[in-house]
Structure 1
Amino acid sequence: MTKLYITRHGQTEWNLERRLQGRMDSKLTPLGEIQAQWLGERLKDEKIDVIISSSSGRTIATAENIRGKREIEIIPNDNLREIYLGQWEGMLYTEVERQWPEEHKNFWNFPHLYKPINGETFSQVIDRVGNEIEKIITQYKDKSVLIVTHAIALKGIISYIEKKDLKDFWSGAFMQPTCLNILEANKDNRKFILMGDTSHYKVEEEAI
């Protein structure tokens, strides 16, 4: 059995500003660092053989905070980066909604109709992260791997594993910062046994 612990990065400055990140980056907030440390404390007794992180700064920083003082290698991976949002990257949600109202509406409500402005489609994200997850399962057979990625990339992994219709991309739990998802995989089966869990949070606060 291969076990994947999959999480999203901690809260960032741009999350607070309601600014779209995609392939661009912003620093973790103090709360974002603490969220990662909470998850690290939760996983401290779990055997983790390797950490594979999106190569973005916010995910690498999250991986380091989760790892803490444990001696576990962190491997950057470009294929686990967030959806590429093209012209939207670095813009406020309100700016995008004002300039591209139809595509903004489709992005959040009708993902099967979303047409990016020089960016990736949801289908392309699902293919990209799905292929990478299969590679990781093969390469780390019978190991335990921590994967640190992003909200939409994580939803893409879930959509791939659960074979969701594209229109249902956003269904299910919202991926809060450092939420825990656990995927078990063997030769013939892949199954999430935990999804979107934030029971390691020490304060009653959602931080999108």
Structure 2
Amino acid sequence: MLTLYIIRHGETEWNKAKRMQGRLDSDLTEKGRRDAKLLGERIKDIEFKRMISSPSKRTLHTAQLVRGTRQIPVETDERLMEIDLGDWQGRVESEIRDLYPAAFDAYWNRPESYESAGGESFYDVANRVASFLEDLQKTSLEGSVLIITHAVAVKALYMLCRNAAVERIWDPPFIHGTSLTILQIDQDKKEFLLEGCMAHCE
């Protein structure tokens, strides 16, 4: 049986400013660093066979804080990266809403019809996350694996494991920074044991 501990990176400066990051990056805030350390303390007794992170700076920093003193390498996989938001990247949400009103509305309310200006669709993200999950199941048959990724990638994972349509990608739970999701995989059976949990910050 394979158990995936899936976390979103900690809060960043751009998260705080409501500035879209996508493939761009910004530093973790003090809260983001603190929450990652708290999560690391929460799961310190779990023996992970692998740690796999998106190669973005914010996920790698989060991974290092959560790893603590463990002597385990952090692998990277580009399929775990955040959705490429093209021309939106680096802009604040209010600016995007003014410049791209139809696409902004589709992004949040009709994700199945969202088309990015120079970036990815939600279908693109789902396809690469599905590819990652398929390969992971071939290379890690059992044990616990820690995955450090981004909000839309986590949402795509929920959608895929529930056989849901892209229209449902924003269904609850909300994925806060450092939230923990636990997914158990037993051959073809996938079961969420925990969803978007923030108990380490309470």
TM-score, with normalisation over the residues of structure 2?
A: 0.98
Single out whichever of 182-191 and 94-103 deviates more from structure 2.
182-191
The CA distance in 2 between the partners of 1:8 and 1:137, in whole Å, is: 21
The CA distance in 1 between the partners of 2:129 and 2:57, in whole Å, is: 18
Q: Does the 8 Å contact 1:82/1:149 carry over to 2?
A: yes
Instruction: List runs of 5+ in structure 1 lacking aligned partners.
Output: 203-208
Q: Report SS of the residue matched to 2:192.
A: strand
Identify the residue that residue 150 of structure 2 maps to in structure 1.
Answer: 150
The CA distance in 2 between the partners of 1:140 and 1:55, in whole Å, is: 20
Q: Report SS of the residue matched to 2:4.
A: strand
Q: Does the 8 Å contact 1:9/1:149 carry over to 2?
A: yes
Identify the residue that residue 187 of structure 1 maps to in structure 2.
Answer: 187
Structure 1 residue 63: deviation in Å? 0.2
Structure 1 residue 189: deviation in Å? 1.1
Q: Report SS of the residue matched to 2:48.
A: coil
Identify the residue that residue 106 of structure 2 maps to in structure 1.
Answer: 106
Q: Report SS of the residue matched to 1:83.
A: coil
Q: Please state if 1:58 is matched with 2:84.
A: no
One-letter amino acid of the structure 2 residue matched with residue 25 of structure 1: D
Q: Please state if 1:198 is matched with 2:198.
A: yes
Q: Please state if 1:93 is matched with 2:98.
A: no
The CA distance in 2 between the partners of 1:186 and 1:107, in whole Å, is: 33
> Which whole-Å deviations, capped at 9, do the CAs of 1:144-187 have from their partners, x for residues lacking one?
10000000111011111111111111011010001010011121
The CA distance in 1 between the partners of 2:134 and 2:66, in whole Å, is: 24
Structure 1 residue 115: deviation in Å? 1.1
Runs of 4+ in 1 over 2 A off after TM superposition: none
One-letter amino acid of the structure 1 residue matched with residue 104 of structure 2: H
Identify the residue that residue 44 of structure 1 maps to in structure 2.
Answer: 44
Identify the residue that residue 127 of structure 1 maps to in structure 2.
Answer: 127
Structure 1 residue 3: deviation in Å? 0.6
One-letter amino acid of the structure 2 residue matched with residue 157 of structure 1: L
Identify the residue that residue 205 of structure 1 maps to in structure 2.
Answer: none
The CA distance in 1 between the partners of 2:188 and 2:160, in whole Å, is: 15
Q: Report SS of the residue matched to 2:6.
A: strand
TM-score, with normalisation over the residues of structure 1?
A: 0.95
Q: Report SS of the residue matched to 2:119.
A: coil
Structure 1 residue 190: deviation in Å? 1.4
What RMSD over aligned residues (CA atoms) do the two structures have, in Å? 0.8
Structure 1 residue 10: deviation in Å? 0.1
Structure 1 residue 137: deviation in Å? 2.0
Structure 1 residue 109: deviation in Å? 1.2
One-letter amino acid of the structure 2 residue matched with residue 168 of structure 1: R
**Percent identity for Structure 1 against Structure 2:** 39
> Which whole-Å deviations, capped at 9, do the CAs of 1:15-45 have from their partners, x for residues lacking one?
0111000000001011101111111011011
The CA distance in 2 between the partners of 1:84 and 1:46, in whole Å, is: 32
Identify the residue that residue 67 of structure 2 maps to in structure 1.
Answer: 67
Q: Does the 8 Å contact 1:130/1:161 carry over to 2?
A: no
